[in-house]
Amino acid sequence: MKPDLLLKELYQKNTEELLGKNIKLCGWIRSARHQKTFSFLALNDGSVFHPFQVVIDDSLTDYQDLVSKLNTGCSVCVEGELVQSPGKGQSIEMKATNVTLLGACPEDYPLQKKRHSFEFLRSIAHLRPRTNTQGSVARVRSRLSFAAHRYLQERNFLYLQSPIITASDCEGAGELFQVTTLPLTNIPTTDDNKIDFKQDFFGKATYLTVSGQLNAESYACGLSKTYTFGPTFRAENSNTSRHIAEFWMIEPEVAFNDLSDNIDLAEDYLKYLINDILENCPEDLEFFDKFIEKGLIDRLQKIKDSSFERLSYTKAIDLLLNSKKSFQYEVKWGCDLQSEHERYIAEEVFKKPVVLTDYPKEIKAFYMRDNDDGKTVAAMDVLVPRIGELIGGSQREERLDVLEEKIKQTGMPVENYSWYMDLRKYGSVVHSGFGIGFERLVQFVTGIENIRDAIAFPRAPKTAEF
Ligand code: 4AD
Ligand code: MG
């Protein structure tokens, strides 16, 4: 049954090697042009952007009957000889000698050959991998994931699979999805009328993780260079084109790295990833450049060759205060930057990635290292044009007494973090790390406007289909 090779493998061979060969291919018909005595099929198996041209003629038995069923969306297996193509757009095509219709496709197939809105395609997320855009997004995303691992593995980072279910709130922002087996219609309570989590599956309140960082720190503080790359969950009720409730995050964590080493790593890593996609997904990028974001390839090329701007939060606030642009959200020292501020800095002021550092401690997570000024922490956010915040990270607080005080200030139960504090009690080291939002990275390299199109089956408020 199976094809001799995928289209990607076919396109990797040179024409001379292929001409005259008989091969078998399988895939879906993207479009078909039927004439009286011959037909052209654009076949794609999704392994590459460009479909492959298959020509059939009436020397095939039951030609008329066969082609009447060969329409957009149906699946076929074709066998035949590879010949030089007289048409433009391809150097070779197949002259089919055998065509098997695997699965017919009725006329109500929603992906007829025309442009569909992204919104509509989201409502048929199970079929959208057959579209040009989602096919390209899926291939770039897969390659990005491979390159993300590769960069770190080749530099001796250890891949840690951190837990999905956790009792700690890494970001301390309370945006947690509860995990429980308590009966929701009859929740057990304690004598003082609180939920009795002792009766819950884990004997305590547990959640889906918002970040693998705390566990990554444990491994970095023993195995030096580590990373996690997994799904993370946030119950943020924000319906923006940059937020989803389930997203993937790459989180490198490195012992003995200070903030500046951390920024160097983030910059080098991002450039490597961009370069990898430029080299390995040229056809998908050309498609995005033409139909999604004009000038995309040029933008990526420039970023790869640029050096990222480094700037303190305080200087960024000055820039915003002195700008002529009017913002929806008020700017003052101490405020959390909104996407409009981040994009203004990266897109309009510097026109390249900007690393902002040393944020006010009140707006950042408890684990970030206090700076000597008593007001700021050793935080770093990488802001990029079009997206805003792509990476968030910091140097970690390695001093036990300072960390304990910071946890207390959040009001979270200190006993949940006793293991985390042990990392400071026993052989503490300076260490740093960051998290790259993987879907935002996909948006960044493809130009895709809405994050819900950068992941196969998006999860967002009131959205958990498929
Ligand atoms: O800045 P964040 O919250 O940092 C952390 O979670 C740290 N624990 C990372 C670390 O230091 N190891 O999130 C990191 C990145 C953001 O910069 C953003 O790209 C992405 O994760 N992100 C989201 N992406 C999609 N939807 C959401 N709701 C996101 N929230 C954060
Ligand atoms: Mg952040």
d(CA 239, CA 247): 14
Which one-letter DSSP state was computed for residue 351?
A: S
Q: How far is the CA of 221 from the centre of ligand 2 (A)?
A: 23
Residue 201 pLDDT exceeds 80: yes
pLDDT in tens, 328-377: 999 999 999 999 999 999 999 999 999 999 999 999 999 999 999 999 99
Q: What does the pLDDT average to over 266-294?
A: 98
180: confidence class by pLDDT, cuts 50, 70, 90: very high
The model's pTM: 0.97
pLDDT at 267: 98
pLDDT at residue 113 is higher than 80:
no
Distance of CA 318 to the CA centre of its chain: 32
Cα separations (Å) of 298 from 285, 290, 440, 445? 11, 12, 19, 11
| Percent share of the chain, pLDDT over 90 | 93
Which ligand 1 atom is at minimum distance from the Cα of 381?
17
Please say if the pLDDT value at position 307 is more than 90: yes
Please tell me the distance from the alpha carbon of residue 452 to that of residue 165, in angstroms, as a whole number. Answer: 24
The pLDDT-based confidence of 115 (bands split at 50, 70, 90) is confident
Closest ligand relative to 438 C-alpha: 1
Quick one: pLDDT at residue 49? 97
Q: List the single range of 71-85, 161-175, 340-354 with lowest mean pLDDT.
A: 161-175
Mean pLDDT along residues 98-114: 93
pLDDT value, residue 89: 82
Atom of ligand 1 nearest to the CA of 170: 8
Separation CA 249–CA 212 (nearest Å): 8
Ligand 1 pocket at CB < 6 A: 170-171, 211, 213, 234, 236, 243-244, 247, 249, 251, 389-393, 433-435, 437, 439-440
Mean pLDDT calculated for residue range 186-190: 96
Task: Classify strands 206-208 and 92-103 as parallel, antiparallel or unpaired.
Answer: unpaired
pLDDT classification of 303: cutoffs 50, 70, 90: very high
Tens-place pLDDT, residues 432-465: 999 999 999 999 999 999 999 999 999 999 999 9
The answer to whether residue 296 scores a pLDDT higher than 90 is yes
The CA 391 to ligand 2 mean position distance, Å, reads 7
C-alpha 274 – ligand 2 centre gap (Å): 21
- Is the pLDDT assigned to residue 47 strictly greater than 90? yes
Grade residue 50 by pLDDT with cuts at 50, 70 and 90.
very high
Which of 166, 211, 246 best tests ligand 1's pocket when mutated (most atoms within 8 Å of CB)?
Answer: 211
Query: Which of 225, 247, 452 is the pocket-test mutation for ligand 1 (most atoms within 8 Å of CB)?
Result: 247
Query: For the ranges 93-102, 165-174, 329-338, 342-351, which has the lowest average pLDDT?
Result: 165-174
At residue 421, does pLDDT exceed 90?
A: yes
- pLDDT score of 149: 98
75-100 average pLDDT score: 94
User: Which structure tokens are listed for 133?
Assistant: 């855009």
- Ligand 1 centre distance from Cα of residue 388 (Å): 12
Rounded distance between C-alpha atoms, residue 162 and residue 228, angstroms = 6
Letter string b/e over residues 279-303, b meaning 16 or more CB atoms within 10 A of that residue's CB: eebeebbebbbeebbeebbebbeeb
pLDDT at 430: 98
Report which secondary-structure segment, H or E, holds 439. helix 438-446
Please list the alpha-helical segments (H only) found in 224-365: 259-280, 282-291, 296-305, 313-321, 339-343
The whole-number pLDDT of residue 1 equals 84
* 153 backbone dihedrals φ, ψ, rounded to 5°: -60, -40
* Reported confidence tier of residue 228, pLDDT bands at 50, 70, 90: very high
Ligand nearest to the CA of 440: 1
Q: What is the DSSP letter of 185?
A: T
Mean pLDDT of the 36-59 span: 96
What pLDDT does residue 88 have?
84
The overall average pLDDT reported for the chain is 96
Question: Does the pLDDT of residue 174 top 80, yes or no?
Answer: no
Q: Which atom of ligand 1 is nearest to the CA of 391?
A: 17
Tell whether the model's pLDDT for residue 265 goes beyond 90.
yes
Query: Which residue has the CA at smallest separation from atom 17 of ligand 1?
Result: 391
Mean pLDDT (whole number) for 152-160 = 98
Q: Span 415-428, mean pLDDT?
A: 96
Helix (H, G, I), strand (E, B) or coil at 216: helix
So what's the pLDDT on residue 172? 78
The per-residue pLDDT for 207 is 96
